[in-house]
Structure 1
Amino acid sequence: MYKHFRALFLFSCLCIGSQQLQAQQLSNSPYSRFGVGDVVHGTGTIRSAGMGQVGVGNASGALINDMNPALLYYNNLVTFEAAVASELKRISDKKESQIDGTANLGYLSLAVPISRFWTSSLSLKPYSRVNYITYLTAPVAGVEEGTASTFTQYKGTGGLNEVSFGNGVRIANGLTAGVTGSYIFGTIDKQATTILVEEGETSDLQQTLFHTTTKYSGLLFKGGLHYRKKFSDKISMGLGSTYTTKAVIDADRQVAQERRALDESLISGITTDSLEGNTTLPQMVQVGLSIDNNKTWSAGLDYSTTKGSDFRGFSLNKNEGRQELGDSYRIGLGTEFTPDPNSVSSYLKRVTYRVGGYYGNSEIQAVTLGNTTGSIQTLKDMALTWGFSFPLGRGVRPPDYTQAMLNTSFAIGQLEAKESGLKEQYLRVSLGVTFNNRWFIKRKFD
């Protein structure tokens, strides 16, 4: 038991160290400029990622399912999970493209059964990620064409984190309920840098910077229900649903204006704005249907929708900020299969195999410029996913009662608004470990 948890502690330290180094940044995403960034809240763990983001109705006794807190009841062992996530992304438009990527902390989760009818969990995971650099060149209005231009760089970093405390209980035969309370916190930095270039003037160029730092903090709540019905020894079905409330969180904003030389040396600077306000995070509804054979195979179909139009940016008064997002949805379909969990002759039969996919609209809305007006285009997000769980060690046997798994998931997909000409193609890879252990077992002597 102890050697496994020493490894667990070391892995956790490595994950947290990765979080500090990477500051929660994945590869450049121009769309993370809107709202509070690329929102990953509600997308689940590695198991869900390998099954097309399915999990609202799929119970598991060996892996933590944080998509639906009602499913925590099925974790009757002390379970710890940790994961890192990486992404390789190709961003292209009609003229050029770029490729980049990096890695960061995926999540840390611990589930502990309190009684036969109640399991609690504690987790740390990202809520959103911001990381973008975009450029804009434009002529200066009111002067002769071609004599002066502005070059502007928009840059953003940071994101929001989520610390969650969840509880799942059985309230009747086959019926479970759960609730999760989350503390949302984090900092998002945004910077706009402009250089004015006049024809024939190349010396003493200066940059004008507007730097906005916003610190967020607040509470978020999710409730869930799940009903599981066993029809025979080989067929069971589950139906789950969750509701995440709209949340008004604190947002403390500070805006500074600076003038710098091209070598980044400071010429002058002043804090122009320091205010305490609010930001409204949108509500989310998820429903899921699952079917399994009570042992080696399960499949699920999920639908989720986020009312992005509820989002409001920074404002001094509640629910009065800028509306930057639209409503979104996602449909996911996935399955997992373990040929023979108790096989002695073949290791590959003890491996769990997963495959799935998802399709939907993002909350981000792209604006396509026409001859006179702009039109709003929805961003289509679609991907094919797969993954594996590899058992480690000796499995569950006395005296340590510990089992461990190495989990992987992969997703290859794209985010695109066809009329805008901008496309993101991505490969996402997650790697994690799971430890299951029976605690508080009384020793027996013959």
Structure 2
Amino acid sequence: MYKPFRALLVISGLVIGAQQVQAQQLSNSPYSRFGVGDLVHGTGTVRSAGMGQVGVATASPFLINDMNPALLYYNNLVTFEATVASELKKLSDRNTSQVDGTANLGSLSLSIPLSRRWTTALGLKPYSRVNYETVATSTVPGTENEVPVTALTEYRGSGGLNEVYFAHGIRIANGLTAGVSGSYIFGTIERQSSNILVDPADETSALQKTLFNTTTKYTGVMLKGGLHYRKSLSPKANIGLGATYTGKAAISADRVTTQERRFLDESLISALVIDSLDGHTTLPQMWQAGVSFDNNKNWTIGADFTNIKGSDFRGFSLNKNEGGQELGDGYRVGLGTEFTPDAGSVSSYFKRISYRLGGYYGKSELVGTIGSNAVTAHDLKDMAFTWGFSLPLGRGVRPPDYTQALLNTSFTVGQLEAKNTGLKEQYFRVNVGITFNNRWFIKRRFD
């Protein structure tokens, strides 16, 4: 095996693995307060991100497809990928706005062809991400007619869920492949609410605050299956059809809730554990369908549809499938294309670059409970324009190493908005990944 490739694989695995078991952060997103945060599951690699999150039916022999395990069959080289994700976001409402950003080590994946009909893959990536910080003010009931007492309530959350997956793609018949993926879900989400009472008649009232901290650790298993069919329409035209289904998963959730009193400088006054419970959370099912066309050479176009059964989600409860509903159903439609002028060109480097373009539109629903009976729903609309490139590194595939390296990039400009709240998120995301393709188990021949 190529030594630099092997060394980079080991080092990246250690670094990214250490980072991934911690919280998957993103820029401040108030919507990640619901469920287990903003879902990353159902989106793809850097290639898919540059093509409008399209990937259910778009196979690639050089890049790993983690959206549809059935497409692993087309990876007939040992392929290693590592990615970094960054985001710059402007969050605004009717009165104020703020800008912040973040960058994180993203995903790690390795695919190995076991035979001419069977390829397997192992990967580590985020399932969801939580990061929010909001403040609400209100007047304490009963003080309206006197000197009003103001209550400042701050909500904070951080963490997320991670996914380690083990996938297989097998050819069943000519043009027909099937795949299955088993994932271990794990992670920790911390949520905090604090209250400060400001009484104009008492100068010491705002020196302390009361906090409720909830830390929940999640572990569980999730299964996913996929199919793909590819048919030649002519020597220069092929069609691909793909579909995946991710089953509903009831995972373990261990929750610890504490109550604290702190000074405003965060120094602790007192702390008390309110409860420590072992329960369950139900993650929603999801299905995806896609279609692609290509010329069997250097051009591909694809379209995907994703349906997330958010109403299946159930929050923490002592019994399975009995928690509160915080999400509604949602969908996403994506369209994207990829073009490589001439992958084998020796006269022009730019002809060897793969160019991608796409966009997507999605809609989802958040359900919040007010008081004991009233329920309000917020419709979220998410739309974005995407583009990206794959830049070949080195001089291409050649013996005796048989190694090819690619630098993959994707860029996304989008907006997430809930019109009935006036809250808007405008984001710019950049993903960068490195891919190595290598031929293993080559029988050496000597003259």
* TM over 0.5, shorter chain: yes
Q: Distance in 2 between matches of 1:77 and 1:141?
A: 67
Aligned to 2:311, the other structure's residue is in SS state helix
Q: Which residue of 2 aligns with 1:316?
A: 318
Select 2:279's aligned residue among 273, 277, 280: 277
Q: Distance in 2 between matches of 1:428 and 1:364?
A: 23
The structural deviation recorded for 1:394 is: 1.8
Is the 8 Å Cα contact of residues 15 and 84 (structure 1) preserved in structure 2? Answer: no
Q: Distance in 1 between matches of 2:231 and 2:331?
A: 27
Aligned to 1:243, the other structure's residue is in SS state strand
The structural deviation recorded for 1:153 is: 0.7
Aligned to 2:321, the other structure's residue is in SS state coil
Aligned to 1:326, the other structure's residue is in SS state strand
Q: Which amino acid aligns with 1:405?
A: L
Q: Distance in 2 between matches of 1:367 and 1:341?
A: 55
Q: Distance in 1 between matches of 2:15 and 2:129?
A: 20
Q: Distance in 2 between matches of 1:378 and 1:297?
A: 36
Q: Distance in 2 between matches of 1:364 and 1:104?
A: 26
1:236-283, Cα deviation, whole Å (9 max, x unpaired):
000000000000000011100111122222222110111100000000
Aligned residue-pair number: 441
Q: Which residue of 1 aligns with 2:137?
A: 137
**CA distance 1:17–1:317, change in 2 (3 Å):** closer
Q: Which amino acid aligns with 2:396?
A: G
Structure 1 segments, 4+ long, off by >6 Å, are none
Is the 8 Å Cα contact of residues 20 and 126 (structure 2) preserved in structure 1? Answer: no
The structural deviation recorded for 1:360 is: 1.2
1:54-109, Cα deviation, whole Å (9 max, x unpaired):
00011110000010000000000000001010000000000010000111122100
Q: Distance in 2 between matches of 1:326 and 1:231?
A: 40
Q: Which residue of 1 aligns with 2:431?
A: 430
The structural deviation recorded for 1:195 is: 0.7
The structural deviation recorded for 1:350 is: 0.1
Q: Distance in 1 between matches of 2:342 and 2:282?
A: 48
Q: Distance in 2 between matches of 1:264 and 1:4?
A: 47
Is the 8 Å Cα contact of residues 71 and 168 (structure 1) preserved in structure 2? Answer: yes
Select 1:364's aligned residue among 360, 363, 366: 366
The structural deviation recorded for 1:5 is: 2.7
- Alignment of 1:32 onto 2:36: no
Q: Which residue of 1 aligns with 2:304?
A: 302
The structural deviation recorded for 1:10 is: 3.7
Q: Distance in 2 between matches of 1:109 and 1:261?
A: 45
- Superposition pairs of residues 93-112 of structure 1, within 5 angstroms: 93-112=93-112
Is the 8 Å Cα contact of residues 131 and 155 (structure 1) preserved in structure 2? Answer: yes
Q: Which residue of 2 aligns with 1:85?
A: 85
- Superposition pairs of residues 268-417 of structure 1, within 5 angstroms: 268-364=270-366, 375-417=376-418
Identity %: 67
Q: Which residue of 1 aligns with 2:68?
A: 68
Is the 8 Å Cα contact of residues 366 and 417 (structure 1) preserved in structure 2? Answer: no
Aligned to 1:318, the other structure's residue is in SS state coil
Is the 8 Å Cα contact of residues 366 and 377 (structure 2) preserved in structure 1? Answer: no
Select 1:214's aligned residue among 213, 216, 221: 216
Q: Distance in 2 between matches of 1:366 and 1:302?
A: 30
1:207-227, Cα deviation, whole Å (9 max, x unpaired):
101000000000000000000
Q: Distance in 2 between matches of 1:131 and 1:241?
A: 32
Aligned to 1:403, the other structure's residue is in SS state strand
Is the 8 Å Cα contact of residues 189 and 214 (structure 1) preserved in structure 2? Answer: yes
Q: Distance in 2 between matches of 1:122 and 1:16?
A: 13
1:279-309, Cα deviation, whole Å (9 max, x unpaired):
0000001000000011100010100100000
Is the 8 Å Cα contact of residues 161 and 188 (structure 2) preserved in structure 1? Answer: yes
Q: Which residue of 2 aligns with 1:119?
A: 119
TM-score normalized with structure 1 length = 0.96
Q: Distance in 2 between matches of 1:140 and 1:110?
A: 56
Q: Which amino acid aligns with 1:229?
A: K
Q: Distance in 2 between matches of 1:273 and 1:102?
A: 33
Is the 8 Å Cα contact of residues 293 and 300 (structure 2) preserved in structure 1? Answer: yes
**CA distance 1:219–1:256, change in 2 (3 Å):** same
Q: Which amino acid aligns with 1:237?
A: I
1:342-370, Cα deviation, whole Å (9 max, x unpaired):
000000000000000000103435899xx
Q: Distance in 1 between matches of 2:397 and 2:365?
A: 44
1:152-179, Cα deviation, whole Å (9 max, x unpaired):
1100010000000000000011000000
Is the 8 Å Cα contact of residues 366 and 420 (structure 1) preserved in structure 2? Answer: no
Q: Distance in 2 between matches of 1:365 and 1:324?
A: 5
TM-score normalized with structure 2 length = 0.96
The structural deviation recorded for 1:12 is: 4.1
Q: Distance in 1 between matches of 2:366 and 2:225?
A: 25
Q: Which amino acid aligns with 1:315?
A: S
Is the 8 Å Cα contact of residues 328 and 365 (structure 2) preserved in structure 1? Answer: yes
Q: Distance in 2 between matches of 1:171 and 1:254?
A: 48
Aligned to 1:398, the other structure's residue is in SS state coil
Is the 8 Å Cα contact of residues 367 and 420 (structure 1) preserved in structure 2? Answer: no
Gaps of 5+ in 1: none
1:13-34, Cα deviation, whole Å (9 max, x unpaired):
45446547x8321111011000
Q: Which amino acid aligns with 2:289?
A: V
Is the 8 Å Cα contact of residues 368 and 375 (structure 2) preserved in structure 1? Answer: no
Q: Distance in 2 between matches of 1:399 and 1:67?
A: 32
- Alignment of 1:256 onto 2:270: no
Q: Distance in 1 between matches of 2:42 and 2:435?
A: 20
The structural deviation recorded for 1:144 is: 3.3
Q: Distance in 2 between matches of 1:359 and 1:366?
A: 23
Gaps of 5+ in 2: none
CA RMSD of aligned residues (A): 1.6
Q: Which amino acid aligns with 2:4?
A: K
Q: Distance in 2 between matches of 1:286 and 1:397?
A: 38
Aligned to 1:73, the other structure's residue is in SS state helix
Q: Which residue of 2 aligns with 1:162?
A: 163
Aligned to 2:234, the other structure's residue is in SS state coil
- Alignment of 1:227 onto 2:229: yes
